[in-house]
Structure 1
Amino acid sequence: MAEKRRDRDTEGRARNARPRDGLGRPLPYGAPGVERAPEGVVRAPGETVREAQRLLDAGMPFHAHEVFEDAWKSGPAEEEALWRGMAQLAVGLTHAARGNPTGGARLLLRGAERISGYGAPYGIDVPGLFSWARELAGRLGDVSVDAAVEAPRLTGSGRS
C-alpha cells in the first residue's frame, strides 16, 4: 500500500498546501487559487478589523475568519470571546456562501451570541453585527448568498 504523504510547513506541522478558492474551498494541486492569509500574524486590534473588513468586502469571509483567529490566539484572554465570535460570524457567512444555509445560520447565531456582551471595542459595531447576523440567518433558507454582497460593516452601521 502506498504511503500518503501529508503537506507540512517549515516547522513540520501538517498543513494543507492545496490551493483554495475565495471561499476557502480546496482546489486540485496545480490549479490557480487565491492567496491564503498567512497564519499566526500578530496584529494590533485596529489592524485586525481593517484587514478583516478588506477581506469581507472582497467576498473572502473564510480568509477574514483566519485574521480573527489570529487575534483570538494572540490577544488577551479577556478578548478571546470577542475575536472567536467575530471568526464565527465570518465562517457563518462562508458556509452561507458555499451553499450550506443550516451551518451558516448556526454559526452566525453562535457568533452573534458570543460577541453580544461587548460594547464597541476598537470601534466594532457589536449591536449592528448582532442584528446583521440574526437577519441574515433568518433569511438563508435553502439558498446560498453572495459573500461580498452580504458582507457586514464591522465598524459603523449597515452593510458594506
Structure 2
Amino acid sequence: MSDVSSGRNRDRDEEGRARNARPRDGLGRPLPYGAEGVARQPEGVVRTPEETVAEAQALLDAGRPFHAHEVFEDAWKSGPEEERGLWRALAQLAVGLTHAARGNTAGGARLLLRGATGLTTWRGATARPTPHGIDLTSLETWATTLAEKVEKQPPALDAATNAPRLHP
C-alpha cells in the first residue's frame, strides 16, 4: 500500500503505518524492489524469554544480527518492565554487530559498548548475572573485546564468525 497524499509514495503496512516494503539482505540493508532478499522477522511477536534467546541465537549464528535485534526489540517492548533494560542492551549488541559487519566501525564499536554498559547496569541493579541462562559477564567481555577489534581492524567483519554465545 502507498501513501500519495503527501505527494510521495510511501510503503505502508496493513494498519497504515509507514513500513519500507523493499527486500532486505542478511544485514538488514534495503535492496532494490524486486530483488531477492531474506525473510524479514515479523514485528510485535510475543515470545517467552527462552524462545527469544533461542531465536536470536539462531539468527546471530546465521550471520543475521539485524534480525536478531528485531527479536530482542520485541522482548524489550512486550516483556516485563523490570527486564526492558536487559532486552534493550541485547538489542544494542546485535545492532552494534550489524553496523560492524556493514563496515560502520565507529557506530558498531559505539553500540557494542553501549550494549555492554547496559548489561553491566542492568546486572548490577538486579543482581542477576545469568537471567534466562544468558551469561551477562561473558557477553560484556565479548562486546568490549569486539568493539576494540572493530576500532582497530576496519573494514567490515563477518557477523556469523563474530557472533556472541548467549548461553555458556
CA distance in structure 2 between the aligned counterparts of 1:16 and 1:81, rounded to whole angstroms:
27
Q: Counterpart of 1:87? A: 91
1:150 aligns with: 162
Distance in 2 of aligned mates of 1:37 and 1:79: 22
**Which among 112, 117, 130 is matched to residue 140 of structure 2?**
130
Give the alignment's Cα RMSD to 1 decimal. 1.0
Counterpart position of 2:75: 71
Partner of 2:54: 50
CA distance in 2, matches of 1:87, 1:154: 12
Pick the aligned partner of 1:31 from 31, 35, 54.
35
Q: 1:104 aligns with which of 104, 108, 114?
A: 108
Q: Runs in 1 of length 4+ with deviation above 6 angstroms? A: none
* TM-aligned CA deviation for residue 139 of structure 1: 1.1
Structure 2: 5+ residue runs without aligned partners?
1-5, 124-128
Q: Percent identity, please.
A: 69
SS of the residue corresponding to residue 12 of structure 2 reads: coil
Counterpart amino acid of residue 14 in structure 1: A
Q: What is the identity, as a one-letter code, of the residue corresponding to 2:13?
A: D
118-127 or 136-145: bigger deviation: 136-145
Q: Which runs of 5+ in 1 are unaligned?
A: none
Q: How many residues align?
A: 155
Tell me the amino acid that sits aligned with residue 152 of structure 1: P
- 2 CA distance for matches of 1:70 and 1:98? 23
Counterpart position of 1:139:
149
Question: Aligned partners of 1:34, 1:3: CA distance in 2, in Å?
Answer: 30
